[in-house]
Amino acid sequence: MCLGVPAKVLETSDGVAVVELGGVRREISVMLVDDVSVGEWVIVHAGFAIEKLSEDAAEQTLSLFREIADAEESRDS
């Protein structure tokens, strides 16, 4: 299974962006998505932005990921 993760764009330059993923900054390629700007949210998969999404959609997705992680943690303890 492949997983794309929402990330907020912090910087852009020549087809590359710095994004924040759960408090960690990563450099990714934005060459597959048109007109990515600072402050926007993208879905990141394998080091590439593959789609833009709204801040609301990003927050909902991240919230679901946290719920899944919390449920797994509770089940394992």
Residue-wise pLDDT for 9-44, tens only, equals: 999 999 999 999 889 999 999 999 999 999 999 999
pTM: 0.85
- Would the pLDDT of 49 be above 80? yes
Query: Residue 54: pLDDT above 70?
Result: yes
Query: In angstroms, rounded to a whole number, what is the distance separating the alpha carbons of residues 5 and 66?
Result: 12
Asked if 45 and 6 count as a contact pair (C-beta separation under 8 A), the reply is: no
66 or 1, greater pLDDT:
66
Confidence of residue 1 (pLDDT cuts 50, 70, 90): low
For residues 45 and 8, the answer to whether their CB atoms sit within 8 Å is: no
